[in-house]
Amino acid sequence: SQQGEEDPQALSIQEGENATMNCSYKTSINNLQWYRQNSGRGLVHLILIRSNEREKHSGRLRVTLDTSKKSSSLLITASRAADTASYFCPSFNAGNNRKLIWGLGTSLAVNP
Amino acid sequence: DADVTQTPRNRITKTGKRIMLECSQTKGHDRMYWYRQDPGLGLRLIYYSFDVKDINKGEISDGYSVSRQAQAKFSLSLESAIPNQTALYFCATSDLDSGSTDTQYFGPGTRLTVL
């Protein structure tokens, strides 16, 4: 089964609204990352949060991490049509497998 | 990301043909990966290489092989293509820095169709 599980699988909002996506993982991690994929394109790294961090900001992005619940959330504020994409939250454990573990992603549609 | 290039970008082939997908990177990273993406199945790791002499199977390596010709080049071969290998293929690179982040940088993808 997937280590990273994004929720919801699909989200549709209006331009200007905030979008919140959640992510859960199963084992201990060194960090958790969020990536964006525009339709049919390569994935782009957005933000990384380390296991000893609880919240991180980058522009309109806010990421939280709760290691006790093994979960993370990504908030995109004041969404734009250009934010329409799939979002993934792979986690990384340097000890066990030394590579990112990917989930199925959340598909976000921002309607103009 | 122009630092990671994949060729070809699109390929249509027939069942039984041998196909090679190529990946080159100018980021100077040691780690390289091949993934496939299918609708509803997310990204699945085919093979990965932590340096030129280190090649590892991923979760779906059957029917595929790889070659790490140099630090900058990592090619994926389908020895005898079959229709269920129709997918979007991505190459990625990373550099396990002292912060142990393994942030990955992706190529634009190769869309492969096997008839």
Quick: pLDDT tens for B82-96: 999 999 999 999 987
Q: Stretch B8-15: mean pLDDT, rounded?
A: 97
- What DSSP character marks residue B111? E
Nearest of A27, A33, A26 to residue A50 by alpha carbon: A33
Residues B60 and B19: their CA atoms lie apart, in Å, by 17
Burial A58-87 (b: 16+ CB within 10 A, else e): eeebbbbbeeeebbbbbebeebeeebbbbb
Contacts of B50 (CB under 8 A, 6+ apart): A98, B30, B31, B56, B96
Q: Stretch B59-80: mean pLDDT, rounded?
A: 95
Q: Which residue of B has its CA nearest to A5?
A: B42
Mean pLDDT score of chain B, rounded to an integer? 92
Q: Do residue B108 and residue A41 have CB atoms under 8 angstroms apart?
A: yes
pLDDT-derived band at A1, boundaries 50, 70, 90: very low
pLDDT at B52 over 60: yes
Contacts of A83 (CB under 8 A, 6+ apart): A19, A76, A108, A110
pLDDT-derived band at A30, boundaries 50, 70, 90: confident
Q: Point out the residue among A42, A48, A88 whose CB comes nearest to the CB of B101.
A: A48
